[in-house]
Amino acid sequence: MIIKQVSVFLENKSGRLVEVLAVLGEEKIKIRALTIADTSEFGILRMLVSDPDKALSILKARDFSVTLTDVIAIAAPAEASSFAKALKILSDKAISIEYLYAYSMGTKAVIIIRTESIENAITAIRENNMDLFNASELNEI
C-alpha cells in the first residue's frame, strides 16, 4: 500500500518544469499525479509516475536533484466530507500529515498523503474501512 513518489528540487526559473517533463516524456514515463510547492527561489515537484525507479534514474542521470518518498493513496468519494473523514481518522490517532494533494475523476477521488507514521496511517485507514490504492492500481488509471 506504500507508493513511491518522485520528488524533484527545482530552481524557480522559467523552463525547469518543462525540462523534467520532457525528459520523462522521452522515456515514456506516465504521470499519474503531480503537485508543486514553491517559494520565490525554488520549488519541489512531487509526482506519482508509472515507473518511479526508472524516473529516478533518468532524472539523476540528467543532474536533477531527485529522491523517492513513501506516500499513501486513499480512495474516497470526491466530496469534502470524505476528505474530512480520512483526515479525522489520522487526527484521532495523532498521526500528523506533512503534506497532501488530491485529484478526482468524476465522483471518485484519490488523496495522496505523506506522513512520518506511514504504517500507522495505513493501519488506521484500514481499520476504518477506507480503501487504499497500491501502485499497480494507480497505473491502471
Per-residue model confidence as pLDDT tens digits over 24-64:
999 999 999 999 998 888 999 999 999 999 999 999 999 99
Q: Are domains 3-70 and 71-133 of this chain identical in fold? A: yes
pTM summary value: 0.90
Kindly state the cell numbers that stand for 67. Answer: 529522491
- What kind of architecture, by CATH, is found in domain 71-133? 2-Layer Sandwich (3.30)
Cα 72 from Cα 15, distance rounded (Å): 30
The answer to whether 83 and 102 have CB atoms below 8 angstroms apart is yes
Task: For the chain, give every domain's residue range.
Answer: 3-70, 71-133
Domain made up of 3-70: CATH architecture:
2-Layer Sandwich (3.30)
Residue 20 is predicted with a pLDDT of 97
SS3 133: strand
